[in-house]
Amino acid sequence: MTVVVHTRAELAQALGGLPDVRLVPTMGALHAGHVALIDAAGPGAVVSVFVNPLQFGAGEDLDRYPRTLDADVELCRSHGAAVVWAPSVADMYVGGRPVVTVSAGELGARYEGASRPGHFDGMLTVVAKLFGATRADIAYFGQKDAQQLALVRRMVTDLDLTTRVEEVPTVREPDGLALSSRNRYLTPDERTAGLALSRALRAGTIEAARAVLADADGLDVDYCELVDPDTFEPVAGPPGRIIVAARVGATRLLDNELTTSLCSPRERSSKNVPVPALV
């Protein structure tokens, strides 16, 4: 049975009967990508549902962000979660905005951090609080938000946290679009335009990816770069992670893919090297 709790006292009581704490941090509006995280955690998962105001900047969509707690709880229940923790802002940040926060440093100032100043500081602050409040043994994060994942791992290392971070592969729609809670904002035409991101990643090289995006209509591309997966420093060639961000209408989309070969898709075919598959 899934227990829904809101306060720290209720959380402590609910966690008391668990042999370990396998945490899935979310901001709600759960979809199949979150389901993959819950399933990876296995029966008895603890799912947090909290729309964190610290990671939204001026003019961003905090008020517009979807809040679907009843549906989220039903989805968690159907996948065997033990606890859903849905705290209020007042319960998460007792006394108001915290005085002491986590800084994402130089790694958090690149790419998404440059486009959304302060976003990663707010994300790391709430993740640190989630780890502390739940005493999580393991926490599960999606590959889709690759820079976030790299920062959480770095925080765990740098601050000697005991929570183990597990990466779960990106979940995609049948047409290739990476699942995101913000996909619901897309019109049919915008959704079609957004498919250029996954097409670019399938092109296999950073040059080919940029060419796909340059030819796409309806995209305002922020960046398309090849980076080291851990540091997010630019690299000249594989191995690396191609990261891309673009605005489609009013919605910002992210995607990424590991790449290990410099050869083009045609060269891959001639060498029997598989093009990365969508999963």
Q: Strand order of the sheet with strand 220-227?
A: 220-227, 240-248, 251-259
Q: Return d(Cα 187, Cα 206) in angstroms, integer.
A: 28
**Residues facing residue 22 across a β-bridge:** 138
Strands 138-142 and 22-26: parallel
Residue 51 burial class via C-beta count within 10 angstroms: exposed 0-12, middle 13-18, buried 19 and up:
middle
Confirm if 134 and 16 have CB atoms less than 8 A apart.
no
Our answer to whether residue 34 is catalytic in this structure is: yes
Tell me the two tokens of residue 112.
């998404």
Contact residues for 26 (Cβ-Cβ < 8 A; gap 6+): 34, 37, 47, 48, 49, 50, 72
Q: Which of 6, 31, 34, 119 is catalytic?
A: 34
Residue of 187, 244, 251 lying closest to 213 (CA atoms): 244
Cite the DSSP H helix spans in the chain.
8-15, 32-41, 69-78, 89-92, 112-115, 119-134, 146-158, 188-202, 206-215, 265-270
DSSP string for 68-102 = -HHHHHHHHHHTT-SEEE---HHHHSTTSS-SS--
Dihedral sign, CA of 244, 147, 149, 203? positive
Could you list the active site residues? 34
